[in-house]
Amino acid sequence: MSDEKKFKSGFVNIIGNPNVGKSTLMNMLMKERLVIATHKAQTTRHRIKGILTGEDYQIVFSDTPGVLDPAYELQTKMMDAVNESLVDADVILYVVEIGEKRLKNEQVFERLQKTSTPIILLLNKIDTATPDRLNEAVEYWHELLPKAEILPISAKENVNVDLLINKIKAIIPEGPQYYPEDQLTDRSERFIVNEVIREKILLNYQKEIPYSVEVVTERFKEDLNLISIEAEIYVERDSQKGIIIGHKGESLSKVGKEAREELEKFFDKKVFLKLFVKVRKDWRSKENDLRRFGY
């Protein structure tokens, strides 16, 4: 009999309420800053795959939008991505904060309770919790999801993340290598550009502005030493366009500078970035616009 190790592969989907650290966890698992992460809720809008390949395994992670009760069509599309992730997973990573109570969408939580898919419940941000609070959380979640394995982690501080990868490797089945070993994500370079620009908008503007924004890369041309990018920032109202641009274009220039610097790190190449701001009224509630933007 051969001692050769069998190759294992599987799909691992990350779900949880907004702002519990799913995207931070994804980046730590991948050891790459693959998805945007901010302190603001609803940073993640799309389902984004991260592909982690080792000598004898390939784990395909999916970061998903935060679970919520949809208030408009964009949020409905975001929840569709979450519901899909409950169907096609070999393992579900359910991320919660210490002290958190259930998901913000009761139907999704009920599906979690009934699923036969293995669940690893991750008690995140343990670096901010006392031992007593941690023990209370373990008891609380064990009662609600008795089949789930509970693992305390800190995604930000990289506590128990390697242990989590080992646990996933033990669960996923034998299977083929679905993606080339050097591929990190299923998303295009243009998508990465869109998300980096949107992250800088989330960090630089307040209130409703970041949630009214969509970014589309219209031109991405890569030469030997330079990537030239033109991207359009869409808002819902004329007043929002003025806020995005700012006095004498200063606000937009700041976003462009920060995004360019981030993209140069990611692509390891000089980047020329040109931004335009356009109005597409109430795009978050219009099916045609959402389709155009990839939802």
* pLDDT confidence of residue 103: 78
Write down the pLDDT at residue 38.
Answer: 87
Residue with tokens 């219009």: 286
The predicted pLDDT at position 71 comes to 92
Predicted local confidence at residue 39, as pLDDT: 85
Chunked into runs of 10 residues, the chain (295 residues) has average pLDDT values of 75 94 95 88 92 97 93 94 92 94 85 95 93 94 95 96 97 96 95 97 94 97 96 97 97 98 96 98 96 94
Alpha-carbon distance of 280 to 286, in angstroms, equals: 10
Residue ranges of the binding site for GTP: 16-23, 63-67, 124-127
Question: Residue 234's closest CA among 289, 291, 188?
Answer: 289
Give dist(CA 215, CA 213) in Å, integer.
7
Cα–Cα distance between 60 and 63 in angstroms, integer? 10
Report the binding-site residues: 16-23, 63-67, 124-127
Helix, strand, coil percent values for the chain (each to nearest 5): 40, 25, 35
Contacts of residue 92, defined as CB under 8 A and 6 or more positions apart, other chains included, come to 12, 13, 15, 85, 86, 112, 115, 117, 118, 119, 120
Q: Are strands 48-53 and 57-63 parallel, antiparallel or unpaired?
A: antiparallel
Which residues, 6 or more positions from 282, have their beta carbon under 8 angstroms from its beta carbon? 236
pTM for the whole thing? 0.91
What per-residue confidence (pLDDT) applies to 99?
Answer: 86
- Report all structural domains of the chain as residue ranges with CATH numbers, in order of start: 8-171 (3.40.50.300), 189-293 (3.30.300.20)
Find the angle CA(185)-CA(289)-CA(206) to the nearest 5 degrees. Answer: 75
